[in-house]
Structure 1
Amino acid sequence: MKGESGLLLLILLPMIGGLVSRFLAGEEQNNQRRMRASELVFAVVSPLTLGLAAYYAFRPVDGIPKLTVSKICGKGMTFSMTGFRTVYVLVALIAWSVSCLFALWYMRNEENKGRYFCYTLVTLGSTLGVFLSADLYTTFIFFEVMSLASYVWVVHEEDKEAVRASKTYLAVAVMGGLVMLMGIFILVNGAGTTDMDRVAAFIRSQNERTEIRAAVFCLLFGFGAKAGAFPLHIWLPKAHPVAPAPASALLSGILTKAGMFGVLLISGQFLVGDEAFGKLLMLIAVCTMLIGAVIALFSVDIKHILACSSVSQIGFMLCGAAAMCVLKEEQWLAVSGTVLHMLNHSFFKLLLFLLAGVAVHDLKSRDLNVLRGFGAGKPWLMLLFMSGAFGIAGVPGFSGFVSKSMIHESLVLCYKETGEISFRVTEILFLIAGGCTAAYMLKLFLVLFFKKPSKDVEAFNASGKKYLSKPCLVLLSIPALLIYLAGTLPEYLMLPVANRASDITVFGVARERFRVFTGENLKGGLISLTIGAALWFFVVKPLITKQVSKKETVYVNRFPKKLDLEQAIYRPVLLKLLPGLFGGICRIAETVTKKAAIGLFLLGKRICGLADRTPELCITGVRRTVLRPVCETTTVSTARKFSIVTGGFMNAVSAFLARIFKKKTKRTDNVERVYRGLNDMSETAKLVTRSLSYGLLAFCAGLLAMLVYLLYCLRG
């Protein structure tokens, strides 16, 4: 281990704290003493880690804190605490501290609290590992740990909707991780290292970029999947609503920024000045920005609206990342705007999701028809919501206006430098998407605070229960105050942070002072807000409201379900089309292989049979040719001739006698009868001549003949 060991402590401390919290909680939820000990660990770990990170961030030190841990996970790990990494480590820890403390109130009556505490802190440690990683291998390892640990957030409720959403989340995370790993393999094959700085230098030195672009596209797929970029955004609208509100705030506010961290590496270091990649990323950004905004306009589920809003805001950030590729040396404006909007969005969604969690927790519903009028008579809650809503809508005086103005100006600069109409169109769509943001936040604000309370809200108010504890109100005031102060004092709070975090890119340091409250910037913000008001009153409100009776109006989601990418494309393709296609190919291959095997078996059988009969055929051939007998026995031929003559004569006599006596007799073939008789006689003669008695008889006859001859000789 070489370097600043405290960087490893930043990662391990939350993970160890999570395991300790889980151990203390045990399996028995009713053990209050153990559960309070677990809650204490859960509440203390994040602020403690925040203090440690602040110490390393602000202490006077020469150079950048770095750490190399060798002989771990095969190739070792490297960590670094540069400007951007420092900023986002601090932001992540602030968000985690607020979320964890809020979760103690939110989950006080929930089950499986110990499991939630454990995986929340493990996710924190892995997220810090992603932000501190200095090489792609380390990034990948902690990226996967982060995805798997945060899966528990999505499936926490364990109902049908949560299980289905968790499968989608895990599928996208795993596919993104595998594709990212392929990109890392390709880069290592060329660069010979996974160190980010060396990889960036290698890529910039290459003239032939076909293989490089293939690798970078793989990385973009993996990082974009986690960020929620189109077309891999499908997990956000499904996962955020079912997760507990404190987890949703972190999923939207921090985990998506881990994906954006990778996108900034690509656009700011790997493919700096690659205009073709910038245009592709710009197209993805526009689609992400508009799709998320449109779905949020029609939705009537408060957490679903905020989730789709996250998709749209990721599109805004991707616009800035795309402008970084196009602007090259003049990219500082796009870099600052993108980084600041990432920071702003983290605090926006931290505040808004926790506020939505208050309403959902009290009324046990996410439907706007049930939540209608929940904020009426709650001025403190309204002020907090206004801070988040005005900030994300880009209202001047709040932090969102600053970051959106910088991204907008970078798009204008892209159009001025290139002269391409596509960037002008993108700028217009940027303003329209900003108007959509204002419209759906106006919808939430009016429904929650200015509509007549629903029956459920009236029943809750009549019960006398507190909608939120005072410590939680103070806790939520932290991000709300940051949003307001950063928007009113951007020169002192936002721009210095942007300059420090701009080292994520090659040419990111600001070369001139950005003036926020100019007429041009205010004009752009006013255009977006005007578009938003017009969309709400003239388009969205008439579409999502339905008159049930003269006194009652309900909100309905009229967005076509057929346009859901997961249901319309991904699930049919991945679960039906591709299995059917490849199943058919496999069946065809199996049939062809089976037929070929049978054919080869039969061919082999024929060959073996032929080989078996070949010796016999050779022997028979030799016998009939080379070894054929010179002369054959004439007995059969003589007998055949005799039988033909004799039998033919007998046949003629039989026919003559039958004609004379006119007597019908059964006609027989005397030739065969004579031949068979001769054969029988021949066989009998052979048997007789070969017998012992025949030999003795012949011997006696010979002896008698010899005696007679001797007597004749003696007489003479």
Structure 2
Amino acid sequence: MIGQIALLIILLLPAVAGFVGYLIGKKSERNRDLFNIIITGIEFLIVILLYKEVSNAPVNLFISDIMGTGLHLKLDIFRYIFVWISSFIWFLTTMYSTQYLIKYKNRNRYYAFFMLTLASTIGIFLSENILNLFTFFEIMSFTSYALIIHDEDQYALDAGKIYIGMAIAGGMVLLMGLFLLYEYTGVLNITEIGEKLIQLGNIKYLISFLIIVGFGVKASIVPLHVWVSKVYPAAPTPASAILSGVLLKTGLFGILITTQYLMQGDFMISAVILILGLMNMFIGGLLALFQRNIKRILAYSGMSQAGYILVGIGLMGVLKENKLIAVYGTLYHIINHALFKVLLFMGTGIIYMVLHEVSINQIKGFGKHKQGLKIVFLVGFLAIIGMPGFNGFISKTLLHEALAEAGHRYPNIGLTIAGMIFTISSSFTVAYMLKIFITVFMENDEKYKGQFKEPICKRALLPMVVLSVAVIYIGMRPETVLTIIDQAIKNFGVDGEIEIHFYTFNNIKASLFTIGLGVGIYVIFVRKYLRKKDGNSSFYVNPSLNWFNLERNVYEPSLMAIFTSTSVVFHVIDRGVVNFVHYTSNKVNKFSGMQIKRDSYGQIKDSYVEMNSLKDFLNKLAKNMNSLTYSVFIVATILVVTLVMLTF
């Protein structure tokens, strides 16, 4: 009973606090900031206290007559990992935001939507009913949209358009998949769907495809990643941090649920996810190499790191009953990525708070004499590249071992190439992070020496220190996280515990080889090809701006072609409907003219007034018909595209 109440509290507390905090902020921003920190701290504390009960047995709560099919919440150890990391990151990011947003406008609105986004995110991870999950997923899209457009400049608004457009499109595809899912199975509870779905014929692949596409937008899965490079730089840094550290995981959570719970680890679906994960790793890392804006580098980095998790999810199905190490690696990297990526975004935010610029061409040398900032950023840098002693080394070693296990059990050229892509993509990570760190923290620029210390306070640095300690502690004591994952693996139909000695000669050698390869790419490619000289100064160029672009060369022309072709049809329908209404209205006019009668006092009788009102109504209907038919056009276009997808 206490656990059920706690589930409701962690779901509703942030939502209620969003509205209450907004009212408090009308009178005192300082009190609002303190209130939000306390609320997110309480949220995190409740989640910590829930661990003991959840580790014994899952906590379930069902409330009927909510969302049509009832609200079904469930917290087991698997979901607990996502809830814990979300509440932990939100607590630290809220504290960080109180410093970062000091000079921003509309702070009250920001915090309200920030808390609502937390509530919807927790709702996603707690939902046992997949329709509940979809509802929270869509709420999160709209609340996070308000965070992305917070600056309200043209760039932010344009980024918001592509984000909400992709989110709505993905949501509609997801909803179509859920409609088909319920039509064929009649079940909505996630743990029960798999038994029904796996018995279906090939239609199950269409259903899973639609659901994965819907979740894949948030997971920045190739080729649905086009929003990433625009949205992350546009949003305030705390929002970018939760977008990459937490909201990205909602999409990955959905894909993991689909492949392992709904499709029961189907080999074909898992193989596709594995291939997409490798593409994410490679393409994201390659594009990050060319960027000059740190937030854009980290955006593509997030896409690449999502690829590691997708590879793990794919390997879970490919390895079947031998998927134990893949489960460990996937869940471990979900935790690790959130920690080091939020740390790196916070470090970038510190720079932006001071200089209002994060282009490495403009800020080179800024961090050379900022020892505190340099150290915490270095921790994030070493973690993401998988340096031994830091948390990234642990999860990347697990994922690499899982890939090697697949290659051992299914020896073929495809998995050999997959191993090479894994290594090359990891070396890309080293190269683009060196590009940031050396330019910003190693190169010399005397104009920054001893300057700009005042704008940085402990409220911004403290969360970074906490994250740095967590990164190092997990790296040195990997069993801390393994203990939790030991309990979570039962959700995936496997038993046992792994006994991997991470700091062996071979593991360290493999990590250092990858890092050495990355240093080579940085020296030979980044420094020689992307770095140009202009007299005594140097700058980086980005030739990828002229490359083939999915959004510019595929999506925009395709959508315009669909709009142009279908608008011809709907123009005919539009004119037909309007002409019919006008024709009907004219007939009514004639008919109403014949009904004019006056009483003995010369007043028009009620029958005429009624007919005249009908005429006015029809005239108004004719004027508004264009808006109505264009609305029909939008809905019909989406349906046509969906039908085409279903056909193929």
Distance 1:343 1:147 in 2: 22
Letter of the 1:226 partner, please give it. K
Larger radius of gyration: 1
Deviations 1:85-128 (A, max 9, x none): 11221111110011000100111121100001100000001100
Query: 1:392 aligned to 357, 374, 384, which one?
Result: 384
**SS of structure 1 residue aligned to 2:66:** coil
Distance 1:253 1:563 in 2: 28
Distance 1:84 1:194 in 2: 19
Q: CA deviation at 1:505?
A: 2.1
1:498 maps to what in 2? Answer: 485
Q: CA deviation at 1:260?
A: 0.8
Distance 2:54 2:65 in 1: 31
Deviations 1:7-33 (A, max 9, x none): 11111100000111112223xxxxxx5
Greater displacement, 466-475 / 535-544: 466-475
Greater displacement, 80-89 / 297-306: 80-89
Greater displacement, 513-522 / 535-544: 513-522
1:326 maps to what in 2? Answer: 318
Distance 2:316 2:444 in 1: 47
Q: CA deviation at 1:237?
A: 1.4
CA 1:246–1:590 in 2, change beyond 3 Å: closer, same or farther? Answer: closer
Deviations 1:655-700 (A, max 9, x none): xxxxxxxxxxxxxxxxxxxxxxxxxxxxxxxxxxxxxxxxxxxxxx
**Mapping of 1:158-557 within 5 angstroms?**
158-204=152-198, 206=199, 208-453=200-445, 457=448, 461-462=450-451, 465-490=453-478, 492-507=479-494, 509-549=495-535, 551-557=536-542
Q: CA deviation at 1:63?
A: 2.5
2:545 maps to what in 1? Answer: 560
CA 1:368–1:62 in 2, change beyond 3 Å: closer, same or farther? Answer: closer
Query: 2:76 aligned to 67, 82, 88, which one?
Result: 82
Distance 1:299 1:552 in 2: 19
CA 1:203–1:420 in 2, change beyond 3 Å: closer, same or farther? Answer: farther
Letter of the 1:5 partner, please give it. I
**SS of structure 2 residue aligned to 1:553:** strand
1:602 maps to what in 2? Answer: none
Distance 1:513 1:266 in 2: 29
C-alpha root-mean-square deviation of aligned residues, in Å? 2.1
Confirm or deny: 8 A CA contact 1:431 1:527 kept in the other structure.
no
2:597 maps to what in 1? Answer: none
Letter of the 1:520 partner, please give it. N
Letter of the 1:7 partner, please give it. L
Confirm or deny: 8 A CA contact 2:99 2:459 kept in the other structure.
no
Distance 1:3 1:104 in 2: 31
1:112 maps to what in 2? Answer: 106
Letter of the 1:201 partner, please give it. E
Greater displacement, 362-371 / 115-124: 362-371
Greater displacement, 555-564 / 328-337: 555-564
Distance 1:577 1:453 in 2: 51
Distance 1:114 1:392 in 2: 34
1:655 maps to what in 2? Answer: none
1:618 maps to what in 2? Answer: none
Confirm or deny: 8 A CA contact 1:399 1:483 kept in the other structure.
yes
Distance 1:149 1:517 in 2: 43
CA 1:15–1:273 in 2, change beyond 3 Å: closer, same or farther? Answer: closer
Greater displacement, 35-44 / 270-279: 270-279
Confirm or deny: 8 A CA contact 2:365 2:443 kept in the other structure.
yes
2:21 maps to what in 1? Answer: 21
Identity of aligned residues (%): 31
Count, aligned residues: 578
Deviations 1:608-655 (A, max 9, x none): xxxxxxxxxxxxxxxxxxxxxxxxxxxxxxxxxxxxxxxxxxxxxxxx
Distance 2:543 2:55 in 1: 58
Confirm or deny: 8 A CA contact 1:154 1:162 kept in the other structure.
yes
2:586 maps to what in 1? Answer: none
Distance 2:115 2:416 in 1: 44
**SS of structure 2 residue aligned to 1:494:** helix
Q: CA deviation at 1:564?
A: 2.6
**SS of structure 1 residue aligned to 2:543:** coil
CA 1:449–1:84 in 2, change beyond 3 Å: closer, same or farther? Answer: same
Confirm or deny: 8 A CA contact 2:60 2:72 kept in the other structure.
yes
Letter of the 1:237 partner, please give it. S
Q: CA deviation at 1:239?
A: 0.7
TM-score, length of structure 1 as denominator length:
0.78
Q: CA deviation at 1:418?
A: 1.8
Q: CA deviation at 1:61?
A: 7.8
Distance 1:225 1:25 in 2: 34
Letter of the 2:49 partner, please give it. Y
Letter of the 1:466 partner, please give it. E
Letter of the 2:43 partner, please give it. T
Deviations 1:487-522 (A, max 9, x none): 1111x2121132233344233x44431221233322
Unaligned 5+ residue runs, structure 2? 581-648
Letter of the 1:536 partner, please give it. Y
Confirm or deny: 8 A CA contact 1:203 1:212 kept in the other structure.
yes
Q: CA deviation at 1:81?
A: 0.9
Q: Which runs of 4+ in 1 moved over 4 A?
A: 59-62, 584-591
Distance 2:406 2:143 in 1: 40
**SS of structure 2 residue aligned to 1:560:** helix
Q: CA deviation at 1:389?
A: 0.7
1:581 maps to what in 2? Answer: 565
Confirm or deny: 8 A CA contact 2:60 2:73 kept in the other structure.
yes
